[in-house]
């Protein structure tokens, strides 16, 4: 079929659709049309490339196709690394597998891949997230204004989406790097169905064997992950999506200093689900599992502290006029740690979300979530309301105010500040009730005419109830009788802050600036009525990103981070009893590590057109070689006595990556 014939037919179909020509008039009665199938339509238009978008519901949307425009994290574009530059998310230091949102830790947020929960969103040491940038195509994140129809959560909600509609052509990409490699491919199977595959692995310790050191210990680290999904159209304009995600992390530690010792640490994630989406109805079933390995041997003494959590979930959403109605349920099994913290629990919720445009300028939102929970003999029922008002005086300005009560029924016991596999999950009980928060927030966003700049300001105040913080020491785990829940102190507190952001995503020079001034204070029962900084408190957090397109195909990027150091509990003095070092400490979290600052640089050159496209990325992590203190601890030797030691990130890490897209 010639281009002219195709154009005439498209115009004819448009006329039929508009009612200007009837089907009988369009085709003579004695003619028989030849069968044709439209395989793919490509529409091109000139528009600014937007890595980040913000909708009026409070979500931040990330287009994976433009992730390479930011300064790459050790060569690999990562959506979670990008979110860590937003004011609502605290900066994480190196070797920290954490994601802190508005004063709450990783365990207070919800992470999903294709609608199924991913219990642990980070790879160990925090170097990369668990979401393959070549496989997932879109991401969304919200730190506030969370709808009542979302599953139970007290902080942020992150969602990664791979394939929403079946692909009709074969496509994919392969990235080979100095530190890690990843790739993904989408394959049409039959009409209306496609299969997507993704994989990733790292060899960081092979390339930089001296990077991962802690005192006299040598660390060997590797991870891998895999993604598979099947997408198919069904009758009634529905889409069926079957997905699986799995990853594995392993860290080996060896040391010959002060007696040989060895350790093996790691975790595994699995998330699989089946979802169906129609015009007004969405159904989802999923299974999620997390298991860890925490073992250490020193001088004939063995320490093994495995833990796990398994979750089965079902959910349904239906749109009905101004309402969105939902129901979801979850069953969880937690094995605990050291024989403590295990249990089984069930959770069921009904939810309704209402939205009404009262005028072109004013929108009201309200929601109610009713949650019932049972764990052994403990039962509770919680009504969780939310409300929001959005006012748009014109197309360039938006104002909002919102309130929401939130809760979650599983608890992450953070025995380490770095997200190491000593951390474990447990179910809420009468002794440790579900964590709750009352969130108040207000803000404004505006586009400055003629500049392409979007700026925003948001203030938040969160009342934290039944929150908990681990106040013990990892050294206590050496005892077989130790119950870590004895040092999980319950209490209450608050988190408040002011977030400022500005960005420009058009033109040859694109940039983002974000700053958060915040405080998170807790009051634990065992310490009386005095407030102290939470382990997730960062008063100042500044991030600046620049992207400059010098000429066609070449982009230079830079990212700078400056943040307050994290709180910790310093030792007042120490003494030796036999061969054991005993320390007396200052008040909990009364000390703070030095400020954290880092500069990353990268350059990306893209070339090729048509079916094959190429990209070469050069990046430098920590280009200024800043000696950021990761942690402080104490050591004893006969010559030096008791010494305060520091684990310092002092390496400049270069990386080279090549990407082939087709």
Task: Report CA 417 to chain centroid distance, whole Å.
Answer: 17
Q: What is the pLDDT of residue 528?
A: 79
Residue 580 forms part of a structural domain: yes
Residue 37 forms part of a structural domain: no
Q: How far apart are the first and last CA of the chain?
A: 26
Give the E-state strand segments of 321-396 in sequence order. 323-334, 343-357, 362-375, 378-394
Residue of 104 and 46 predicted with greater confidence: 104
- Residue 47 pLDDT level (bands cut at 50, 70, 90): very low
Q: CB-based contacts of 603: which residues, under 8 Å, 6+ apart?
A: 554, 555, 556, 557, 617, 618, 619
At residue 216, φ and ψ (nearest 5 deg) are: -95, 10
Q: What is the pLDDT of residue 526?
A: 80
Q: Rounded distance, CA 375 to CA 474, Å?
A: 28
Our count of domains for the chain comes to: 1
Instruction: Tell me how many degrees the CA angle 498-504-507 measures, rounded to the nearest 5.
Output: 175
Q: What is the pLDDT of residue 515?
A: 98
Q: What is the pLDDT of residue 488?
A: 86
* pLDDT mean across residues, the chain: 85
Q: What is the pLDDT of residue 572?
A: 76
Q: What is the pLDDT of residue 30?
A: 35
Give me the domain span that covers residue 193. Answer: 52-661
Residues 507/452, Cβ–Cβ less than 8 Å = yes
CATH number at residue 110: 2.40.170.20
Residues 647/655, Cβ–Cβ less than 8 Å = no
Residue 31 forms part of a structural domain: no
Residue 321 DSSP label:
T
Examine the pLDDT at 637 and tell me if it is beyond 60: yes
Q: What is the pLDDT of residue 239?
A: 96
How many angstroms separate the Cα of 607 from the Cα of each of 22, 125, 174, 660? 48, 34, 15, 10
580: its two tokens = 């054991």
Examine the pLDDT at 66 and tell me if it is beyond 90: no
642: its two tokens = 């008791």
Residue 400 forms part of a structural domain: yes
Examine the pLDDT at 1 and tell me if it is beyond 80: no
Other CB atoms within 10 A of residue 299 CB: 8
pLDDT tens-digit readout, 309-325: 999 999 999 999 999 99
Q: Rounded distance, CA 92 to CA 67, Å?
A: 19
pLDDT tens-digit readout, 445-469: 999 988 989 999 999 999 999 998 8
Residue 367 forms part of a structural domain: yes
Residue 459 forms part of a structural domain: yes
Q: What is the pLDDT of residue 7?
A: 37
Residue 105 forms part of a structural domain: yes
Q: What is the pLDDT of residue 569?
A: 83
Residue 182 DSSP label:
E
Residues 504-522, mean pLDDT to the nearest whole number: 93
Residue 42 forms part of a structural domain: no
- Residue 46 pLDDT level (bands cut at 50, 70, 90): very low
């Amino acid at each position: 079929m010639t281009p002219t014939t195709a154009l005439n037919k498209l115009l004819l179909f448009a006329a039929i659709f508009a009612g200007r020509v009837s089907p009988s008039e369009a085709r003579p009665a004695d003619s028989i049309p030849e069968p044709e199938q439209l395989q793919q339509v490509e529409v091109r238009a000139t528009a600014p490339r937007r890595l980040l978008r913000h909708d009026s519901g409070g979500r931040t949307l990330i287009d994976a196709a433009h992730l390479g425009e930011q300064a790459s994290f050790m060569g690999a574009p990562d959506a979670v690394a990008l979110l860590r530059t937003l004011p609502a998310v605290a900066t994480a230091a190196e070797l920290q597998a954490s994601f802190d949102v508005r004063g709450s830790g990783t365990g207070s947020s919800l992470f999903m891949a294709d609608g199924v929960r991913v219990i642990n969103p980070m790879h160990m040491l925090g170097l990369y997230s668990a979401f393959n940038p070549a496989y997932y195509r879109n991401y969304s994140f919200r730190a506030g204004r969370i709808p009542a129809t979302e599953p139970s959560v007290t902080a942020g909600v992150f969602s990664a989406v791979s394939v929403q509609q079946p692909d009709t052509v074969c496509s994919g990409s392969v990235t080979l790097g100095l530190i890690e490699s990843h790739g993904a491919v989408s394959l049409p199977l039959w009409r209306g169905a496609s299969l997507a595959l993704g994989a990733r692995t790292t060899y960081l310790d092979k390339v930089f064997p001296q990077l991962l050191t802690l005192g006299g210990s040598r660390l060997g680290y590797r991870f891998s992950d895999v993604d598979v999904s099947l997408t198919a159209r069904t009758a009634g304009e529905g889409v069926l999506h079957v997905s699986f995600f799995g990853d594995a992390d392993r860290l080996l530690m060896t040391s010959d200093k002060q007696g040989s010792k060895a350790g093996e640490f790691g975790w595994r994630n699995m998330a699989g689900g089946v979802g169906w989406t129609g015009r007004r109805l969405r159904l989802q079933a999923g299974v999620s599992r997390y298991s860890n390995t925490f073992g250490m041997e020193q001088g004939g003494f063995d320490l093994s502290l495995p833990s796990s959590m398994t979750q089965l979930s079902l959910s349904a959403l239906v749109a009905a006029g101004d309402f969105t109605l939902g129901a979801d349920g979850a069953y969880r099994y937690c094995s605990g740690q050291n024989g403590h913290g295990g249990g089984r629990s069930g959770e069921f919720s009904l939810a309704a979300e209402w939205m009404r445009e009262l005028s072109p300028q004013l929108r009201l939102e309200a929601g109610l979530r009713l949650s019932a929970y049972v764990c052994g003999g403990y039962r509770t029922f919680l009504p969780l309301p939310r409300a929001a008002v959005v006012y748009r005086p014109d197309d360039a300005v938006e104002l909002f105010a919102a309130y929401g009560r939130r809760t979650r029924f599983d608890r992450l016991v953070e025995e380490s500040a770095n997200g190491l596999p000593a951390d474990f999950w447990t179910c809420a009980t009468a002794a440790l009730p579900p964590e709750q928060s009352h969130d108040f927030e207000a803000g404004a966003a505006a586009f400055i005419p003629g500049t392409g700049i979007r700026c925003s300001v948001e203030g938040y105040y969160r009342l934290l109830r039944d929150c908990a913080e681990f106040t013990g020491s990892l050294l206590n785990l050496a005892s077989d009788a130790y119950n870590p829940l004895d040092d999980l102190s319950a209490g209450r507190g608050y988190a408040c802050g002011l977030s400022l952001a500005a960005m420009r995503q058009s033109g040859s020079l694109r940039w983002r600036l974000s700053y958060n001034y915040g405080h998170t204070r807790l009051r634990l029962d065992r310490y009386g009525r005095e407030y102290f900084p939470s382990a997730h408190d960062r008063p100042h957090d500044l991030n600046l990103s620049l992207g400059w397109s010098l000429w066609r195909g070449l982009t230079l990027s830079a990212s700078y981070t400056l943040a307050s150091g994290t709180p910790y509990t310093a030792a007042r003095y120490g003494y030796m009893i036999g061969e054991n070092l005993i320390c007396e400490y200052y008040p909990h979290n009364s000390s703070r590590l030095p400020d954290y600052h880092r500069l990353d640089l990268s350059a990306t050159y893209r070339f090729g057109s048509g079916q094959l496209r190429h990209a070469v990325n050069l990046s430098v992590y920590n280009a200024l070689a800043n000696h950021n203190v990761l942690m402080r601890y104490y050591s004893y030797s006969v010559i030096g006595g008791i010494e305060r030691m520091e684990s310092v990130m002092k390496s400049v890490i270069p990386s080279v990556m090549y990407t082939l897209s087709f």
